[in-house]
Amino acid sequence: MRHWRWPALAETVKVPCRRPPLRLVMASVAFALAALAGAAAAEPGAAGGQAGRTTPVIRIGYLSQAVERPPGLSTLEVPPEDEGLQGARLAIADNNTTGRFTGQTFALVERVLPVDGDVAAASSSLADDGVGYVVSTLNGAGLDRLLAVAGAGRALVFNAGAPDDRFRRGDCRAGLLHTLPSRAMLADALAQYLIRKNWKRWFLVTGPEEGDALYAAAVRRAAGRFGGRIVAEKTWSEALDIRRTAEAEIPVFTQVADYDILIVADEIGFFGEYLPYRTWQPRPVAGTQGLTPVAWDRNLEQWGARQLQSRFQRQAGRPMTAVDYAAWAAVRSIGEATARTSSADSATVAAYLSGDAFALAGFKGLTLSYRPWDGQLRQPIALVTARAVVSMSPQEGFLHPLTTLDTLGDDRAESECKR
Amino acid sequence: MSKTLPPAAALFAGLAGLLTAAAPPRAVAETVIVSNERDNTLSVIDDESLSVTQTVPVGRRPRGITLSADGSRLYVCASDDDRIEIYDTSTMKKTGEIPSGVDPEQFALHPDDRKLYIANENDDVVTVVDTDSRHVIGQIDVGVEPEGMAVSPDGRVVVNTSETTNMVHWIDTASLTLIDNTLVDQRPRYAVFSRDGKRLWVSSEVGGGVSVIDTGSREPIETIRFKIGGISSDRIQPVGIKLTRDGRYAFVALGPANHVAVIDAETYKVLDYILVGRRVWHLALNSDETRLYTTNGVSGDVTAIDVATLKPIKSIRVGRFPWGVVVKP
């Protein structure tokens, strides 16, 4: 179904796309590329169907690494192995469709590492391949390794895999942008909704992983910002697989003073799926399970999202995840900035991305842009359950003098990023 | 409290009666037809009583609709059925179907009343169909998510806007080849030529503005921005545009801002904002251009606006998520 054509077309003419006269000054693109000193190699352009013509190729590196998942999780759903990569590939296709008209060609240089793969070596091999941009879906530890070697700032790095707030705060740096929302943004998005519902008394349950503690910290921060109260708190330290005994265990575990909603911090899905409908009191569950704040979800269909979802499904054979979306947004940002600036130079692109003029249509109802203070992509956050979108944050009534999107995560005044 | 009207109120009541009586008689009753995206129906509205007189079941996810030159045929994009359906507007019975390519969303009819140019949103192509022979004449590759379609008044150029590529693609109707591309603001949704063909108006839903493009140089000469007190700029998302024949007004539907902007089509200054229903998308004028109709998706209604006073007259409940609208003389 990739290229559906009406059958009658067989007896009619398929008109090929002729390369149009370029409206963008290609000379300046060529110049910028030359100035990149080999950052982009000249390759035969795939577009236009004109043999013999060459188009400078804008090479975007993609870096990911498999992670070991512990056995005995509460969910059977395993994240897809190509999570992130498919999002980047789709955006390359989107960029190249646009590139047909601007004379730009994009290529994805993929480095998908096994669990024990060497991030530093992969990064330098990307540099050897003339890559000016790296889209990373590495986790926090992996991103640390990448930044240690990419620290010279030659390539612009897009973090599409690490939600850790520290990369937007103390560990932020020039040349590092984030398309995945931070944990603070996710927690704020959830908190705004709960405050709007007047569900202000929270029971916080935190899992044993490092990320869980960070998620819980973001929830505490959100409570302070928006007026939630953590009235009970527990840590899940159960090492047993309670799949068969959850009905007995969870009611006992959740016997605490009265609260409005249980917020769970369990990023890998170790025990969180056991909580909904099993709590001692009849209360809803939110956080990493239950009502979940996410950057993207298969259930989004408004604001043209349906088109993106079907393009993705057709290409990948599975629904788009938040990491796919973050990788897609990173590659599309590069495409948008190179088209608008007529430049492939990563410094020019970086300046444009952080400027006021940049805007990315992200199928979430509001324009996406980067925060100049910490490089975070501003974006609405969906609150979803397994089969439905419940709400979108920022919620109505949470005001901001510039854009309501800056009510999610670190605003300029509170940013700890010095770069 | 006295039951008789105070003198001032009586005077107003009298004046109102006088004004009603003095309003010019409306020529002939016309019919407003609306596509309901989530109901798979058309709502037929009598423009005199401003009430729905008929609901017609159609193909799945009807979006763009347009009339033949004489108004006798209605073309409906049945997006999820990958086809265009044809209805006889006197009976509202389906008389045929046309192949359209995948996911047709909007289309434009050539002044020759035969060729339809269809934006295939999921396939990055524009499909050209002969409505007489019902054959596909050609397909032209365009940007990602083609949406808006317009044919120049002289019929020589057709333009398409692509929502993710953010361009206006200019297609030569004789050779069916691309002649040019113009970058515009984010997510261009709708395009319409001025009556003299010298200007092209393009709305950018996410960019939040309307570009006015000189069709000679194919460069934008003006970008119109909107500002409504109490409404966040994020919510101003222009979609449908209608230009009056006399060149006086441009009306722009502002989506979730729930207003229609009134623009002086010569100076490009915004004159007024008219409050309508929720998430207003597309617009239609009646034949003498005394009335403007809007489709309000979220509130599921159509607002009728009096063009002389720029005031809404009535909201008419239709199906779920009304999308396209036309007025049949």
Q: Model confidence over A58-90: pLDDT tens digits?
A: 999 999 999 988 877 888 888 899 999 999 999
3 state SS of B35: strand
| Tens digit of each residue's pLDDT (9 = 90 or more) over B278-310 | 999 999 999 999 999 999 999 999 999 999 999
* Pairing between β-strand A54-65 and β-strand A285-287 as defined by DSSP bridges: unpaired
- A262 and A132 co-located in one domain: no
Given this model, what pLDDT does residue A78 score? Answer: 85
Q: Find the helix or strand (DSSP H, E) in which A186 lies.
A: helix A183-196
Q: Which residues of A touch B123 (CB under 8 A)?
A: 3-4
Residue A198 within any structural domain of the chain: yes
How many of the other CB atoms lie within 10 Å of CB of A54? 10
Q: Would an 8 Å CB–CB cutoff place A336 in contact with chain B?
A: yes
Residue A4 within any structural domain of the chain: no
- A237 and A117 co-located in one domain: no
Mean pLDDT, range B211-236, rounded to an integer:
94
Of A18, A310, A366, which is closest to B178 when you measure between CB atoms? A18
- A156 and A244 co-located in one domain: no
- B179 in the Ramachandran plot: left (φ > 0), alpha (ψ -120 to 50) or beta? alpha
- Rounded to the nearest angstrom, the minimum Cα separation between B115 and chain A is 15
Residue of A2, A25, A97 to mutate when probing chain B, most B C-beta within 10 A: A97
- A93 and A162 co-located in one domain: yes
- A147 and A216 co-located in one domain: no
- Per the document, the length of chain A is 419
Domain boundary residue, one of A263, A293, A323: A293
Of B141, B145, B167, which is closest to A307 when you measure between CB atoms? B145
Residue A175 within any structural domain of the chain: yes
What does each C-alpha distance from A360 to A6, A337, B205, B236 come to in angstroms? 33, 9, 12, 16
- A262 and A322 co-located in one domain: no
Domain boundary residue, one of A235, A258, A293: A293
Mean pLDDT, range B227-256, rounded to an integer:
94
Residue A414 within any structural domain of the chain: no
Q: Would an 8 Å CB–CB cutoff place A21 in contact with chain B?
A: yes
Q: Is the pLDDT of residue B29 over 90?
A: no
| Tens digit of each residue's pLDDT (9 = 90 or more) over B97-138 | 998 888 898 999 999 999 999 999 888 899 999 999 999 999
Residue A152 within any structural domain of the chain: yes
Pick the CATH number of B58-183 from 1.10.443.10, 3.40.190.80, 2.130.10.10, 2.30.30.100: 2.130.10.10
CB contact under 8 A, A365 and B163: no
Radius of gyration of chain B from Cα atoms? 20
Residue A385 within any structural domain of the chain: no
Q: Tell me the C-alpha distance between A14 and A55, whole Å.
A: 24
In the sheet that holds A389-393, the strands lie side by side as A292-294, A381-384, A389-393
Of B136, B162, B177, which is closest to A9 when you measure between CB atoms? B136
Q: H/E/C letters for each residue in B200-253?
A: EEEEECCCCEEEEEECCCCEEEEEEECCCCCCCHHHCCCCCEEECCCCCEEEEE
Q: Tell me the C-alpha distance between B159 and B155, whole Å.
A: 11
- A301 and A281 co-located in one domain: no
Q: Tell me the C-alpha distance between A257 and A325, whole Å.
A: 39
* Torsion angles phi and psi, residue A165, rounded to 5: -65, -25
Q: Find the helix or strand (DSSP H, E) in which A212 lies.
A: helix A210-226
Given this model, what pLDDT does residue B16 score? Answer: 44
A232-236, B36-40, B98-102, B170-174: range with lowest mean pLDDT: B98-102
Residue A15 within any structural domain of the chain: no
Given this model, what pLDDT does residue A102 score? Answer: 86
CB contact under 8 A, A304 and B122: no
Judge whether B97 and B119 are in contact, CB under 8 Å. no
What does each C-alpha distance from B98 to A13, A216, B78, B245, B283 come to in angstroms? 17, 57, 10, 31, 25
Q: How many domains does the structure of chain A reveal?
A: 2
Q: Which residues of B touch A304 (CB under 8 A)?
A: 145, 163, 187
The angle that helices A140-149 and A119-128 make with each other, rounded to 10 degrees, is 50
- A271 and A362 co-located in one domain: no
Tokens of B316: 């008419």
The tens place of each residue's pLDDT in chain A, 419 residues long, gives 334 333 333 333 333 333 333 333 333 333 333 333 333 333 333 333 333 345 679 999 999 999 988 877 888 888 899 999 999 999 999 999 988 888 899 999 999 999 999 999 999 899 888 899 999 999 999 999 999 886 555 689 999 999 999 999 999 999 999 999 999 999 999 999 999 999 999 999 999 999 999 999 999 999 999 999 999 999 998 777 787 888 889 999 999 999 999 999 999 999 999 999 999 999 999 999 999 999 999 999 988 899 899 999 999 999 999 999 999 999 999 999 999 998 888 889 999 998 989 999 999 988 899 999 999 999 999 999 999 999 999 998 898 888 899 999 999 999 999 88
Domain boundary residue, one of A261, A293, A325: A293
CB contact under 8 A, B234 and A21: no
- A160 and A219 co-located in one domain: no
CB contact under 8 A, A5 and B139: yes
Of A12, A17, A102, which is closest to B178 when you measure between CB atoms? A17
Q: Which residues of A touch B178 (CB under 8 A)?
A: 17-18, 20, 101
CATH of the domain at A80: 3.40.50.2300
Q: Tell me the C-alpha distance between B323 and B76, whole Å.
A: 11
Q: Would an 8 Å CB–CB cutoff place A367 in contact with chain B?
A: yes
- A76 and A166 co-located in one domain: yes
- Rounded to the nearest angstrom, the minimum Cα separation between A168 and chain B is 25
Determine the structural domain holding residue A45 and report its residue range. Answer: 26-181+297-379
Mean pLDDT, range B73-100, rounded to an integer:
94
Q: Is the pLDDT of residue B21 over 70?
A: no
Task: Give the chain B residue nearest A310 (alpha carbons).
Answer: B122
- A189 and A176 co-located in one domain: no
Task: Tell me which of B223 and A241 has the higher pLDDT.
Answer: B223
How many Å is the maximal CA-CA distance in chain A?
A: 74
Q: Find the helix or strand (DSSP H, E) in which A292 lies.
A: strand A292-294
Q: Is the pLDDT of residue B63 over 50?
A: yes
Mean pLDDT, range B319-323, rounded to an integer:
97
Question: Is A38 exposed, middle or buried, given 0-12, 13-18 or 19+ CB atoms closer than 10 A?
Answer: exposed
Of A8, A307, A311, which is closest to B136 when you measure between CB atoms? A8
- A61 and A30 co-located in one domain: yes
